Amino acid sequence: MRLHRITLNPRSKAARRDLADPYQMHATLCRAFFPEHTPSRPGALLWRLEPETDRDGRPRVLIQSQVPPEWSPLYESGWLAVAEPGIDLVQKLSLDTLSAGQVFRFRLRANPCKTLHGKRLGLLHLDAQHDWLARKGQQHGFSVPSANTPDYFDFLDSPKGRAYPDVRVSQDQMLVGRRHDGRTIRVFSVLYEGRLVVSDPAQFRAAIQKGIGHAKVMGLGLLSVVPSQR
Protein backbone atom coordinates (compact mmCIF):
# COMPACT_ATOMS: atom_id res chain seq x y z
CA MET A 1 0.00 0.00 0.00
CA ARG A 2 1.68 3.16 -1.22
CA LEU A 3 0.82 6.84 -1.04
CA HIS A 4 1.69 9.06 -4.00
CA ARG A 5 1.65 12.83 -4.35
CA ILE A 6 1.39 14.38 -7.79
CA THR A 7 1.30 17.94 -9.07
CA LEU A 8 -0.95 18.77 -12.01
CA ASN A 9 -0.18 21.15 -14.84
CA PRO A 10 -2.92 23.82 -14.70
CA ARG A 11 -2.12 24.83 -18.28
CA SER A 12 -3.39 21.47 -19.47
CA LYS A 13 -6.99 21.59 -20.69
CA ALA A 14 -7.51 17.97 -19.59
CA ALA A 15 -6.12 18.73 -16.12
CA ARG A 16 -8.44 21.72 -15.75
CA ARG A 17 -11.37 19.53 -16.80
CA ASP A 18 -10.48 16.94 -14.16
CA LEU A 19 -10.01 19.57 -11.46
CA ALA A 20 -13.54 20.77 -12.19
CA ASP A 21 -15.02 17.26 -12.32
CA PRO A 22 -13.86 14.77 -9.65
CA TYR A 23 -15.57 11.86 -11.41
CA GLN A 24 -13.39 12.48 -14.46
CA MET A 25 -10.33 12.92 -12.21
CA HIS A 26 -10.96 9.44 -10.79
CA ALA A 27 -11.23 8.00 -14.30
CA THR A 28 -7.93 9.58 -15.32
CA LEU A 29 -6.14 8.29 -12.22
CA CYS A 30 -7.56 4.80 -12.74
CA ARG A 31 -6.03 4.72 -16.22
CA ALA A 32 -2.63 5.35 -14.64
CA PHE A 33 -2.99 2.63 -12.00
CA PHE A 34 -5.07 -0.01 -13.79
CA PRO A 35 -5.09 -1.17 -17.43
CA GLU A 36 -8.31 -0.21 -19.16
CA HIS A 37 -9.22 -3.87 -19.61
CA THR A 38 -8.91 -4.51 -15.86
CA PRO A 39 -11.60 -2.60 -13.90
CA SER A 40 -10.45 -1.46 -10.48
CA ARG A 41 -12.09 -2.94 -7.40
CA PRO A 42 -14.19 -0.59 -5.24
CA GLY A 43 -11.81 1.20 -2.88
CA ALA A 44 -8.74 -0.05 -4.75
CA LEU A 45 -7.77 3.55 -5.42
CA LEU A 46 -8.31 6.41 -2.98
CA TRP A 47 -7.41 10.01 -3.72
CA ARG A 48 -7.90 13.57 -2.52
CA LEU A 49 -7.34 16.97 -4.06
CA GLU A 50 -5.32 18.79 -1.42
CA PRO A 51 -6.26 22.31 -0.26
CA GLU A 52 -2.61 23.38 -0.48
CA THR A 53 -0.84 24.02 -3.77
CA ASP A 54 2.88 23.92 -4.53
CA ARG A 55 5.05 27.06 -4.54
CA ASP A 56 3.92 27.91 -8.06
CA GLY A 57 0.25 27.59 -7.23
CA ARG A 58 -0.16 24.25 -8.99
CA PRO A 59 -2.74 21.81 -7.57
CA ARG A 60 -1.65 18.66 -5.79
CA VAL A 61 -3.39 15.30 -5.46
CA LEU A 62 -2.72 12.45 -3.02
CA ILE A 63 -3.37 8.92 -4.30
CA GLN A 64 -3.28 5.67 -2.35
CA SER A 65 -3.19 2.29 -4.08
CA GLN A 66 -1.96 -1.28 -3.73
CA VAL A 67 -0.48 -1.26 -7.24
CA PRO A 68 2.18 0.97 -8.85
CA PRO A 69 1.18 3.62 -11.40
CA GLU A 70 2.38 4.22 -14.92
CA TRP A 71 2.71 7.98 -15.20
CA SER A 72 4.32 8.19 -18.65
CA PRO A 73 1.12 8.83 -20.66
CA LEU A 74 0.07 11.63 -18.31
CA TYR A 75 3.51 13.23 -18.51
CA GLU A 76 3.47 12.99 -22.29
CA SER A 77 0.02 14.55 -22.56
CA GLY A 78 1.07 17.50 -20.38
CA TRP A 79 -1.54 16.65 -17.72
CA LEU A 80 1.06 15.78 -15.08
CA ALA A 81 3.79 18.18 -13.91
CA VAL A 82 5.44 16.23 -11.06
CA ALA A 83 5.05 12.73 -9.61
CA GLU A 84 6.92 12.22 -6.34
CA PRO A 85 8.16 8.76 -5.30
CA GLY A 86 5.51 6.72 -3.52
CA ILE A 87 5.67 6.11 0.23
CA ASP A 88 5.23 2.62 1.68
CA LEU A 89 2.54 3.30 4.29
CA VAL A 90 2.84 -0.07 6.02
CA GLN A 91 6.48 0.70 6.78
CA LYS A 92 6.13 4.45 7.29
CA LEU A 93 3.26 4.16 9.78
CA SER A 94 4.28 0.78 11.24
CA LEU A 95 0.81 -0.49 10.42
CA ASP A 96 1.71 -4.07 11.31
CA THR A 97 2.48 -3.06 14.89
CA LEU A 98 -0.31 -0.60 15.65
CA SER A 99 -1.54 -0.57 19.22
CA ALA A 100 -4.57 0.81 21.02
CA GLY A 101 -3.94 4.25 22.47
CA GLN A 102 -1.70 5.50 19.67
CA VAL A 103 -2.41 9.09 18.68
CA PHE A 104 -2.35 10.35 15.10
CA ARG A 105 -2.96 13.64 13.37
CA PHE A 106 -5.28 13.09 10.45
CA ARG A 107 -6.96 14.58 7.40
CA LEU A 108 -10.12 13.24 5.79
CA ARG A 109 -12.36 14.72 3.13
CA ALA A 110 -15.63 12.87 3.42
CA ASN A 111 -19.36 12.86 2.73
CA PRO A 112 -21.12 13.13 6.11
CA CYS A 113 -24.66 12.07 5.32
CA LYS A 114 -27.81 10.30 6.46
CA THR A 115 -30.25 8.15 4.51
CA LEU A 116 -33.86 9.31 4.35
CA HIS A 117 -36.43 7.42 2.27
CA GLY A 118 -33.63 5.63 0.47
CA LYS A 119 -31.80 8.83 -0.47
CA ARG A 120 -28.52 10.09 0.97
CA LEU A 121 -28.66 13.62 2.31
CA GLY A 122 -25.62 15.66 3.28
CA LEU A 123 -25.35 16.75 6.91
CA LEU A 124 -25.06 20.53 6.86
CA HIS A 125 -24.88 21.36 10.58
CA LEU A 126 -21.55 21.28 12.36
CA ASP A 127 -22.76 19.19 15.29
CA ALA A 128 -24.16 16.56 12.92
CA GLN A 129 -20.89 16.49 10.98
CA HIS A 130 -18.93 15.90 14.18
CA ASP A 131 -21.36 13.21 15.30
CA TRP A 132 -21.02 11.46 11.94
CA LEU A 133 -17.25 11.32 12.37
CA ALA A 134 -17.63 9.97 15.92
CA ARG A 135 -19.89 7.17 14.63
CA LYS A 136 -17.44 6.34 11.86
CA GLY A 137 -14.68 6.23 14.44
CA GLN A 138 -16.60 3.62 16.42
CA GLN A 139 -16.97 1.54 13.25
CA HIS A 140 -13.37 1.96 12.14
CA GLY A 141 -11.32 1.55 15.30
CA PHE A 142 -10.60 5.09 16.47
CA SER A 143 -12.03 7.75 18.74
CA VAL A 144 -11.90 11.52 18.84
CA PRO A 145 -10.55 12.94 22.14
CA SER A 146 -13.32 14.21 24.39
CA ALA A 147 -13.97 17.78 25.46
CA ASN A 148 -12.05 17.45 28.73
CA THR A 149 -8.77 17.11 26.82
CA PRO A 150 -6.62 19.94 28.25
CA ASP A 151 -5.01 21.01 24.97
CA TYR A 152 -8.23 21.46 23.01
CA PHE A 153 -8.88 24.20 20.50
CA ASP A 154 -11.94 25.93 19.04
CA PHE A 155 -14.04 24.90 22.05
CA LEU A 156 -15.58 28.30 22.69
CA ASP A 157 -16.59 28.68 19.06
CA SER A 158 -18.46 25.39 18.87
CA PRO A 159 -22.25 25.65 18.49
CA LYS A 160 -24.33 25.15 21.64
CA GLY A 161 -21.18 24.77 23.72
CA ARG A 162 -20.51 21.31 22.27
CA ALA A 163 -17.05 20.47 21.07
CA TYR A 164 -14.95 17.81 19.51
CA PRO A 165 -11.90 19.83 20.49
CA ASP A 166 -9.25 18.03 18.48
CA VAL A 167 -11.12 18.07 15.18
CA ARG A 168 -11.63 21.00 12.84
CA VAL A 169 -14.28 20.88 10.11
CA SER A 170 -13.92 23.21 7.14
CA GLN A 171 -14.30 23.68 3.40
CA ASP A 172 -17.89 22.61 2.88
CA GLN A 173 -18.20 21.85 -0.83
CA MET A 174 -20.82 20.46 -3.18
CA LEU A 175 -18.86 18.29 -5.58
CA VAL A 176 -20.35 17.89 -9.05
CA GLY A 177 -19.32 15.23 -11.54
CA ARG A 178 -20.63 13.85 -14.79
CA ARG A 179 -20.74 10.13 -15.43
CA HIS A 180 -19.90 8.58 -18.77
CA ASP A 181 -23.62 8.09 -19.43
CA GLY A 182 -24.19 11.83 -19.00
CA ARG A 183 -25.83 11.63 -15.59
CA THR A 184 -24.80 14.27 -13.04
CA ILE A 185 -23.49 13.33 -9.59
CA ARG A 186 -23.73 15.78 -6.68
CA VAL A 187 -22.06 14.97 -3.38
CA PHE A 188 -21.72 17.16 -0.29
CA SER A 189 -18.28 17.07 1.32
CA VAL A 190 -16.32 18.56 4.21
CA LEU A 191 -12.68 18.46 5.26
CA TYR A 192 -11.91 16.98 8.69
CA GLU A 193 -8.53 17.64 10.31
CA GLY A 194 -7.25 17.03 13.82
CA ARG A 195 -6.30 14.23 16.20
CA LEU A 196 -7.61 10.74 16.78
CA VAL A 197 -6.80 7.86 19.11
CA VAL A 198 -6.61 4.24 17.93
CA SER A 199 -9.03 1.94 19.77
CA ASP A 200 -8.96 -1.16 17.54
CA PRO A 201 -5.74 -1.59 15.51
CA ALA A 202 -7.20 -4.08 13.00
CA GLN A 203 -10.24 -1.95 12.22
CA PHE A 204 -8.10 1.19 12.01
CA ARG A 205 -5.66 -0.47 9.62
CA ALA A 206 -8.60 -1.51 7.42
CA ALA A 207 -9.94 2.06 7.45
CA ILE A 208 -6.63 3.38 6.17
CA GLN A 209 -6.54 0.73 3.46
CA LYS A 210 -10.18 0.94 2.31
CA GLY A 211 -11.18 4.49 3.19
CA ILE A 212 -14.18 5.87 5.07
CA GLY A 213 -17.67 6.70 3.87
CA HIS A 214 -19.29 7.01 0.46
CA ALA A 215 -18.35 8.63 -2.86
CA LYS A 216 -14.76 7.46 -3.11
CA VAL A 217 -14.90 7.93 -6.89
CA MET A 218 -15.41 11.64 -6.14
CA GLY A 219 -12.15 11.91 -4.22
CA LEU A 220 -13.57 11.25 -0.75
CA GLY A 221 -12.73 8.76 1.98
CA LEU A 222 -8.92 8.80 2.00
CA LEU A 223 -7.79 8.82 5.66
CA SER A 224 -4.29 10.31 5.88
CA VAL A 225 -2.49 10.04 9.22
CA VAL A 226 0.86 10.87 10.78
CA PRO A 227 1.97 9.99 14.33
CA SER A 228 1.40 12.67 16.95
CA GLN A 229 3.35 13.15 20.16
CA ARG A 230 0.47 14.73 22.05
Question: Can you give the CATH number for the domain in which 115 is found?
Answer: 3.30.70.1210
Q: Do 135 and 79 fall into the same domain?
A: no
Q: Do 25 and 121 fall into the same domain?
A: no
pLDDT of residue 40: 62
Indicate the number of domains in the chain.
Answer: 2
Domain extent for 71: 2-91
Between 85 and 167, the more confident residue is: 85
Query: What are 37-82's pLDDT values in tens digits?
Result: 655 666 689 999 999 999 999 999 999 999 999 999 999 999 999 9
Q: Do 112 and 210 fall into the same domain?
A: yes
Query: What are 126-169's pLDDT values in tens digits?
Result: 999 999 999 999 999 999 886 544 444 444 444 444 455 678 89
Q: Do 127 and 194 fall into the same domain?
A: yes
In angstroms, rounded to a whole number, what is the distance separating the alpha carbons of residues 211 and 106?
Answer: 13
Q: Do 187 and 84 fall into the same domain?
A: no
Cβ contacts of residue 28 below 8 Å, gap of 6+?
14, 18, 74, 79
Q: Do 37 and 135 fall into the same domain?
A: no
pLDDT of residue 156: 44
Query: What are 86-106's pLDDT values in tens digits?
Result: 999 999 999 999 999 999 999
Q: How far is CA 114 from the centre of its chain?
A: 19
Rounded to two decimals, what is the model's pTM? 0.88
